[in-house]
Structure 1
């Protein structure tokens, strides 16, 4: 289950409003109607609430109506569905999800900021070959003419442009691989704690979480380990699961920072292998050819 970066803050704020309205005694079927009526016509939150309200009036369950929005609303729907299944209040479950989502968003933003500097430097270096051509023209060399008429210059142009294209593609692949994951860390453990806090047995809680299909194999193994530890030690699993969710967020933050640190080194490869040779082919080589062409060799 993933969290959309551009709307995650709005989702968390709106979810918190829903939780407050539910705590105040509003029935779930009316909550979204209230939010839609209170928002301006061009407010995306109001548009969201109106769409959900239309589905609810058509007979769709509240959790299903929210889940139909996709993206970050899926984890809200999961919490709602699990809380309803175990017969516990929905608002505490939604507040728990808001906390998990906020922690995950803060961790992702920290990683994104750490990645921005080396990525910006690499993008700037990609312009170096083009700048070298302009500099050659400004300095009085016939760089552009050489690159478009001289056979050697044409070969330099083709190879240089090809290397720039390769460098940009290579750089995008490296930056994309280092980007923070859109998976919300600790979501499975938090949902499991919601089910257990509502009175479900560990087997029932695990079945409910499996049905909503959140987290990967690593999180599933960690959750199973926590449940086993709780059973052996004879202590409630809820606090252990929530502590595990917090630890997963911290781990995601640390892993992301390490990726950002390694990114600067990895980006040296496309710069050294492609960008710098392209600088020579498009900037230095035409200048040299221009000097050679303008030099009269005495017979």
Structure 2
């Protein structure tokens, strides 16, 4: 089975395997070593290593660190992606509170499978508008080439006098502005929380240890801060715990339900942002790319036609 392409899905796959290996009762170092050995033989790992020898799957690097006696949480704290840092945060919290690691890892994997599906949907939704934005950037150059195909000296017009240089500079500046504008719009549409609901999931993990709720909330807040993860939604944990205590039920299920709701809301908002991108990209098209097309593709042809007519 190949490792998933999207980071959240990749973490989910690794965490599920790790939870299964830990269920055998062996130490984490042995589980990581077996996982790393398995990853070495995966079809997707071999081409990746051929492309760049320095690119080593995260689970292999982590396995090496654990084999050398390094704490997994400390190693994962240095990673750039929030999904891997979330695994480190969970690991650290289970060590500090005594929560069951195997069950906690399975819950984490379920949450990150949802996030991975969201990443995939957002990438698909953004692919069309982003490809359109790149495609329309070549329209002015198509206009230049079309003029040459029709027999007009558009290059001579653009490079043969002050008027041509002004048109060329104007068109290129407009294209540069459109490129920057498109990048801003795509980046803004791609911006979304990477670990929504994870704080509540982490509190649910801590509560499974049987510790006092106040201590669990404090440890969770410290852990999220240590791993530079979002603490949004954590303020809702205390009312949920109080509700569970009043009803005489375990708080874990309520907390995980709220975490799932937060992930669904983030997923919907990200999908809406991706859907709005198609409309937003019309602004640089109309304000920059079409004027650039006129400056680079249409005006030189008209000037060349006039020059040809006057020469006759």
Q: TM-score, normalised by structure 1?
A: 0.89
Unaligned runs of 5+ in 2: 50-54
Distance 1:46 1:216 in 2: 27
Take 2:244 and 2:238, find their aligned partners in 1: how far apart are those partners? 10
CA distance in 2, matches of 1:47, 1:117: 30
Partners of 1:32 and 1:53 within 8 A in 2: yes
Please give the root-mean-square deviation of Cα atoms over the aligned residues, in Å.
2.5
Q: Which runs of 5+ in 1 are unaligned?
A: none
TM-score, with length taken from structure 2: 0.85
Cα distance, 1:223 vs. partner?
2.8
Match for residue 183 of structure 2?
Answer: 172
Distance 1:64 1:180 in 2: 27
Which string of whole-angstrom CA distances, capped at 9 and with x for unpartnered residues, describes residues 154-192 of structure 1?
101100011001101100100110015252111111111
Structure 1 residue 81 and structure 2 residue 95: aligned?
Answer: no
DSSP 3-state at the match of 1:183 = coil
CA distance in 2, matches of 1:228, 1:155: 70
2:298, 2:57 → 1: CA distance? 57
Deviations 1:183-237 (A, max 9, x none): 2111111111011012122111111211122653532233344334435555432
CA–CA separation in structure 1 for the residues paired with 2:59 and 2:70: 14
* 1: CA distance, partners of 2:104 / 2:237: 18
Structure 2 Cα separation of the partners of residues 48 and 280 of structure 1? 50
Cα separation, 2, equivalents of 1:218 and 1:63: 21
Give the conservation status (yes or no) of the 8 Å contact 2:195–2:230: no
Is residue 100–residue 208 contact of structure 2 (8 Å, CA) maintained in 1?
no
Partner of 1:21: 21
Taking the aligned partners of 1:171 and 1:107, their CA distance within structure 2 comes to: 23
* Post-superposition CA distance 1:39-68 (Å, at most 9, x none): 437667986455334433443334324444
Aligned to 1:199: 210
Distance in 1 of aligned mates of 2:80 and 2:113: 18
1:110 equivalent to 2:124? Answer no
Residue among 276, 281, 299 paired with 2:290: 276
Which residue pairs with 1:55 in the alignment? 65
Question: How many angstroms apart in 2 are the aligned matches of 1:178 and 1:147?
Answer: 37
**Count of equivalent residues:** 295
Relative to structure 2, which stretch is displaced further, 271-280 or 43-52?
Answer: 43-52
Q: Which residue of 1 aligns with 2:52?
A: none
